[in-house]
Amino acid sequence: MIIESILTTLDPAGAVNFAPMGVEWGEDEIVIKPFLETATFRNLSATRAAVVNLTDDVLLFARAAISSPQFPAGPASVVRGAVLEAACSWRELEVRAIDATPPRSRVVTAVVHRGFRREFLGFNRAKHAVIEAAILATRTHLLPPDQIRDEFARLQVIVDKTAGPRERDAMALLTEYVRAAPRPQPAAS
C-alpha cells in the first residue's frame, strides 16, 4: 500500500530536504522510490537515513510539490534526520538496500523508531483532491495540458464543496503554478 507522506532527508552538510513522497508502507520496512536525479535520492545514498512524516496539512504537500520549501522541524530521535513539526506521527528509517536502476530507485529501509505527536484527523474529499492536484503539478512536463486542465477543473469542484481555508490556499497555489508552468512541446516531424 502506498501512503502519502512528507519525507525528510539530510544532505551531508545537514541541510533538510522536504519532499512529498508516496512510500510503500510496512510496519517494520518502508520502501522509498525516488527518481535518481533528486535530492532525496542523493541524500538517502549519502546519509542512509530518512524520516517519513505523516501529516494532515495538505498545504505542506502543495508547497513541497512545486518548490523547495523549508518547514519547521526538529531533530529525529534515533537517526540523523529531521522530524516535521506539523507531523502527526513519523517513522525514522535506516537504509538497508539501494537499487539504483534507472529511472527510479528502490530504497529499502528499516523502521528504527516511531514517534507520535497528535491524532491524524484524516483526509476529507478536499484534502484528497489537493493531494491529487499536487501530484498532477509535478507532471506538467509529462502530461498534455488539456488533461491537466480538465483534471484540475474536476478537483476544484471538490475543493469548492468541502475545503477549509488551508485546502483552498493549497489548491489556489497549485492552480497558479500549473497555469504558469511551461507546456511540453510537440515532437518535430
pLDDT of residue 73: 98
Three-state secondary-structure class, residue 19: strand
Rounded Cα–Cα distance for residues 144 and 124 (Å): 28
pLDDT of residue 188: 52
Instruction: Read off the C-alpha cell for 118.
Output: 497528535
CB 85 within 8 A of CB 71: yes
Instruction: Read off the C-alpha cell for 84.
Output: 516535521
Query: Rounded to 5 degrees, what are φ and ψ at 32?
Result: -115, 140
pLDDT of residue 182: 75
Pick the CATH number of 125-180 from 1.20.58.290, 3.30.2290.10, 1.10.240.10, 3.40.440.10: 1.20.58.290
Summarised one tens digit per residue, pLDDT across range 8-39 is 999 999 999 999 999 999 999 999 999 999 99
pLDDT of residue 185: 58
Q: Domain extents for the chain?
A: 2-116, 125-180
SS3 percent helix, strand, coil of the chain, rounded to 5, is 35, 30, 35
Where the chain has pLDDT below 70, the residues are 183-189
pLDDT of residue 13: 96
Domain 2-116 shares a fold with domain 125-180: no
Is the domain defined by 2-116 classed in CATH 2.30.110.10?
yes
CB 46 within 8 A of CB 119: no
